[in-house]
Amino acid sequence: MIELQNVSKVYAGQDGEVRALDHVNLSIQRGEFVVIRGPSGSGKSTLLLTAGGLVRPTEGKVVVDGKDIYTLSSRERASFRGGNIGFVFQMFHLLPYLNVLENVLVPTISGARKSDRTEAAELLQRLKMSDRLHHRPSQLSTGQRQRVAIARALLNRPRVILADEPTGNLDPDNAAEVLDYLTEFHKAGGTVLLVTHEQYADEYAQRIVLLQNGKISFLREESLKPSHATE
């Protein structure tokens, strides 16, 4: 589903170049739940954003569902993301001037599919947010904000969810709830790539990749074993 071929990403820094990714090769199969783990500054977020078509690599190729995504134009790539990839971030990235329902509908702006308020409301009901449809993000708890972000990620029926520290701001109960939602998506056939600096998600993963200094340092090769959600 996702293949990174000899991918490097170099940023310009005050003291010279910073190599966030260093010739990374990684294949993620359709229907896998993969965790990328590593310390702060190891390149995890850059890897996730590069895999999702948001950060162009300095060198190498990124293939998602058979498409070399960085050969697409910016508009084509945005449309491809909108139709195939859902993103969940630690900081939620909800728009403060929109209510809950409107925030969930944001992905339809890309035109990947028609705006469907009924489906958005049904998703929010599944995520126990039906009584908050017209609240603004500032009126929600951190756990509720992440549930809205998950509903937004799911609205376009993506094939892949990319999650960047999705429980980093949550207490243990809300963190477990978020992981349960992600594994429910995985159990239904979706592909999940989650990056974190902690071990909390290991039991949910089919495969664990350790990243250090922009390089894969360890791979737990247990691809397609039953995950926590399906056992």
- Give 155's contacts (C-beta < 8 A, 6+ positions apart): 86, 104, 105, 107, 108, 116, 119, 120, 123
pLDDT-based confidence at residue 231 (cuts at 50, 70, 90) = very low
Q: Rounded to a whole number, what is the largest CA-CA distance in the chain?
A: 52
Of 173, 208, 172, the C-alpha closest to 35 is 208
Mean of the per-residue pLDDT values of the chain: 87
Average pLDDT over residues 145-160: 90
Q: What is the per-residue pLDDT across 16-64, written as a single tens digit (0 to 9) for each?
A: 888 999 999 999 999 999 999 988 888 999 999 999 999 999 999 999 9
Give the torsion sign (CA, 4, 88, 96, 119).
positive
How many Cβ atoms from other residues are within 10 Å of residue 25's Cβ? Answer: 11
Name the residue type at position 22.
D
- Look at residue 112 and tell me whether its pLDDT is greater than 60: no
Crossing angle between the packed helical segments 142-154 and 117-126, to the nearest 10 degrees: 130
Q: What is the per-residue pLDDT across 125-140, written as a single tens digit (0 to 9) for each?
A: 988 898 999 999 999 9
- One DSSP character per residue, 95-138 reads -TTS-HHHHHTGGGGGSSS---HHHHHHHHHHTT-GGGTT--GG
List the structure tokens of 149: 């972000």
Helix (H, G, I), strand (E, B), or coil: what is residue 8?
strand
Cα–Cα distance for residue pair 230/222, rounded to 1 Å: 15
Of 132, 149, 143, 153, the C-alpha closest to 174 is 143
What pLDDT is attached to residue 106? 86
> Is 132:124 a contact under the CB 8 Å cutoff?
yes
Q: What is the per-residue pLDDT across 161-215, written as a single tens digit (0 to 9) for each?
A: 999 988 887 888 888 888 898 999 999 999 999 998 888 888 889 999 999 999 9
Q: What is the per-residue pLDDT across 53-107, written as a single tens digit (0 to 9) for each?
A: 999 999 999 999 999 999 999 999 988 988 899 999 888 889 999 999 999 998 8
Of 51, 52, 49, 42, the C-alpha closest to 21 is 42
What pLDDT is attached to residue 57? 95
List the structure tokens of 229: 């959600």
What pLDDT is attached to residue 160? 95
Cα–Cα distance for residue pair 210/215, rounded to 1 Å: 8
